[in-house]
Amino acid sequence: MAKPFIYLACGSAAMSAMLCKSRLEEALRKRGIKNFDLRICRVAELYENVRRLKPDVAIVTAGSFAEEDVECPVFSGVPLMMGVGVDAFIDKVVDVLKEKGKVP
d(CA 97, CA 104): 9
Determine the structural domain holding residue 32 and report its residue range: 5-99
d(CA 75, CA 101): 19
Predicted confidence at residue 17, as pLDDT, reads: 83
What is the domain count for the chain? 1
Q: How many residues in total does the chain contain?
A: 104
Predicted confidence at residue 6, as pLDDT, reads: 97
- Report pTM: 0.90
Predicted confidence at residue 28, as pLDDT, reads: 96
d(CA 50, CA 40): 12
- Give the CA distances from residue 72 to residues 38, 51, 67, 88, in Å, rounded to whole numbers and listed in that order: 15, 9, 7, 19
Question: Checking phi first, is residue 63 left (phi over 0); if not, alpha (psi -120 to 50) or beta?
Answer: left
Q: Is residue 104 part of a domain?
A: no
Predicted confidence at residue 15, as pLDDT, reads: 82
Residue 59 has pLDDT above 90, yes or no: yes
- CATH value at residue 23: 3.40.50.2300
> In this predicted model, what pLDDT tens digit does every residue of 60-83 receive, in sequence order?
987 766 666 678 999 999 999 999
> In this predicted model, what pLDDT tens digit does every residue of 1-24 receive, in sequence order?
799 999 999 888 778 888 899 999
